[in-house]
Amino acid sequence: MKDNFDLATLRVVVAAADHGSISAAGDQLELAIAAASARVTALEKSLGFRIFERSPRGVHLTPNGSVLVERARRIIGDADRLYEDMYEYRQGLEGHVHVLANSSSLLQVLPGVLKTFAQQSPRIRVEVEERGSSQTQRSLLEGLADVGVVDAPIRVRGIDLEDFFSDNLVIVAHVDHPLARRDAVYFDDVLDEEFIALIESTALSARLAMSASAANRTLRIRMRMHGFDAITRMVSAGLGVGMLPLQAIRPQLSTLPIKAVRLRDAWATRVHRIATRRNIPVSPAAQTFIEALRTERRRRKKTADDQAV
């Protein structure tokens, strides 16, 4: 069985699962369709069960196949990171860290951390991608990233989380909107408004929906945007209100005809967290980067404590 259980075959299986087609997997991996199909068939024979159910429309995973693909993603991710690390060692670097981070952390915290880290650890390469918190946690579980920064209102099994930084959600309204005359509101007070929201795959969008559901109300979503800046511009045009982190939109507050109205609800203070795979040791390079995040957390706490005195 081990002869058929190799990385090349696992890549074919994962690609076929992603595309719903063995031929499309072959195209992606630059393999002849017959060769890709033969790899899948040989693996199925050695395992003693079908990975895919086949039909004229393509393939879809069996229950056993789903388990195999989930584990295969992790193995492939680990192997790819190992190759990258070894290649970079040969180039004189000390490692590579793949970081997935939500929009809030990229706007508020990570630029400063990354600048300092580059100065202090110039031989470690950090690759950063913006991802929604739920997608980040899935990618970590699949071994496709080393570290994540997430807003995780719902914890995911297999992910370890530790506090990093906090921010405050506010309602954003046009300066001529009646809400702009108020200093603070409860979320229940704005549920009759039309919202400009983020796309549904984000943690902030999920938090917005959960908060409305807790009040036994349905959100009135007028439109969905991909970023904070797009939401503030729609709000400035008078098309609705938004819910955004105050710290991330300070530049827009000073340049657009909008106002941030504080939310009185306890959940409006969010804690963003450092995310890693549970029971999977990170590389020395990733550990060095995590320590840099922890240093920033301690710096922020000290600053807050000093300001409170």
Assign 309 to helix, strand or coil.
Answer: coil
To the question of pTM greater than 0.85 for the whole model, the response is no
CATH code, domain with 9:
1.10.10.10
DSSP strand pairing (269-277 vs 147-150): antiparallel
Model confidence pLDDT, tens digit, residues 176-192? 999 999 999 999 889 88
| Domain extent for 283 | 77-162+277-308
Count of CA atoms in the C-beta half-sphere (13 A) of 47: 19
Return the DSSP state at 282.
P
Which residues in the chain show pLDDT less than 50? none
> Could you tell me the CATH number of the domain that includes residue 242?
3.40.190.10
Half-sphere exposure for 63 (CA within 13 Å, toward CB): 0
Torsion of CA 38, 43, 49, 53, to 10 degrees: -40
pLDDT for res 302:
86
Same domain for 262 and 289: no
When divided into structural domains, the chain yields a total of 3
pLDDT of residue 86: 75
Distance CA 137, CA 129 (A): 13
pLDDT in tens, 207-236: 788 888 888 888 888 899 888 999 999 999
Quick check: 57 and 48 in contact, CB under 8 A?
A: no
Residue 89 has what pLDDT?
65
Is there a single domain that holds both residue 179 and residue 137?
Answer: no
